Amino acid sequence: MVRGPGSTGRYASKSGPIMLRVSFVVRDPKRPSQFRDKVLRSSSLQRGRHMRRREFIIRVAGLSAVWPLIAHAQQSPKTAKIGVLWHAGSAEEEKVYLGMLTKALGDLGYVEGKNVVFSHRFPAEQPDRYRSLARELVESNVDVIVAITEPGAVALKEITSTIPIVFGVVADPVGSGFVASLAHPGGNLTGLSFMATDLSGKRLSLLKEAIPSLSRVALLQDRSLGSVASTTYLELYSKAAKTMGLILDRIEVPTPDAIDEAFSAAAEHGCQAVILFGGMLANEGVRVGASALAHRVPTLSIWSEKVRYGLLMSYGQDVDETFRKLASYVDKILRGAKPADLPVEQPTRLKLVINLKAAMVLDLSIPPTLLASADEVIE
């Protein structure tokens, strides 16, 4: 029902009453032009609104078509470029450690061929090659470089002050001039301390426990250590030996061909045990072990992986843990952290490995208490 212009009527429905409002527009014959103009303006306004709405829809549709491409470009991770300056002469010689580093980075999501490119360099413990290969890595514009040993870190530090460098085997990072302090490195280098200060006396005491009659020990060092590290080790072990009433002889091993001669000299000097230091001696594990057994000199290394070649024992940081920590540094740097803000870390887990097979060849009886304290026994 209609009651007139602007009137309302009520209609019943199943859901309740519905209010209906009806509006009437009355045309005044005396003012046709005003009415017509009003209608035309309204029609034009509606067309404008429809046009703007159509343009908006077209633009949104176009944007929606390209948005997945934009989003993909923003979300696609950058391929990381990681340089590694090793110490041996080939990937085959570094096979064990290369595998450890690759796995540690893989566990953090860095997969070669997918989101990371590795640039490996192998200097074969040659000083000139350390410098030339370090320059190659710097000039290849990698994002971060891992220097496995101290000579590599030295070479890189001389060449770049901008590319982040993570060092892996450094006895005294502060004394070597790599960092301002362990807590606040302050430059483009950070990494792991080898904690030599705390382990010199412990290693000598382990040899003393295995060889109760021990009175003279030889410290074999190769030239890869550098003058600072070599002097530091000598001072530390000399002091610890004096405290324990032991005589310490230092024997330098300039090249792999001099290894057997060094063990011969140790035996001739009456040394009852040898402690090894240096990347070259670590790399020449097979030759070192053969010479140690041939000259019947019980030998201790800091590298557990080398014991199986004929050494008596090793005591040092867990190598697996070392490479996990190196990978963690690399990951943090690639995510935006600065080496200057990443404290130098020290080993949290130390590992003792004893080789009973070598002990039998050397006619040594290892005390049960020492065997019980070993993390690994080779039988």
Residue 356 to residue 374: CA distance in whole angstroms: 11
Fold designation for 80-193:
Rossmann fold (3.40.50)
Q: DSSP for 199-235? A: HHHHHHHHHHHH-TT--EEEEEEEGGGHHHHHHHHHH
| pLDDT tens column, 168-226 | 978 789 988 999 999 999 999 999 987 545 689 999 999 999 999 999 999 999 877 76
- Which homologous superfamily is 198-318+349-378 in? Response regulator (3.40.50.2300)
Residue 203 to residue 184: CA distance in whole angstroms: 29
Residue in the structure block whose two tokens are 């046009």: 51
List the Cα angle 137/142/145 in 5-degree steps: 70
Contact 239, 219 (CB under 8 A): no
Six token digits for residue 45? 């306004």
Which strand ranges, in their side-by-side order, compose the sheet holding 165-170?
116-121, 80-85, 144-149, 165-170, 189-193
List the Cα angle 289/295/298 in 5-degree steps: 60
Domain definitions of the chain by residue range: 33-76, 80-193, 198-318+349-378
Contact 285, 256 (CB under 8 A): no
The residue ranges of DSSP E strands in the chain, in sequence order, are 8-11, 18-21, 80-85, 116-121, 144-149, 165-170, 189-193, 216-222, 247-253, 273-277, 299-301, 313-317, 350-355, 376-378
Residue 174 to residue 362: CA distance in whole angstroms: 40
Q: What are phi and psi of 125, to 5 degrees?
A: 60, 25
Walk along the chain (379 residues) in steps of 10 and give the mean pLDDT of each run.
44 45 47 50 53 52 48 59 95 93 97 96 92 98 95 95 94 89 96 76 96 97 76 89 96 94 97 92 93 98 93 93 96 98 90 97 97 96
Secondary structure (3-state) at 82: strand
Angle at which helices 259-268 and 285-294 cross, to 10°: 30
List the Cα angle 284/288/289 in 5-degree steps: 120
Count other Cβ atoms within 10 Å, centred on residue 141: 10
Residue 344 to residue 290: CA distance in whole angstroms: 36
Biggest CA-to-CA distance, the chain: 134
Radius of gyration in angstroms for the set of CA atoms belonging to the chain, rounded to a whole number: 38
Q: DSSP for 254-279? A: -SGGGHHHHHHHHHHTT-SEEEEESH
pLDDT at res. 367: 97
| pLDDT tens column, 292-323 | 999 999 999 998 999 999 999 999 988 899 99
Which of 157, 113, 89 has its CA nearest to residue 173?
157
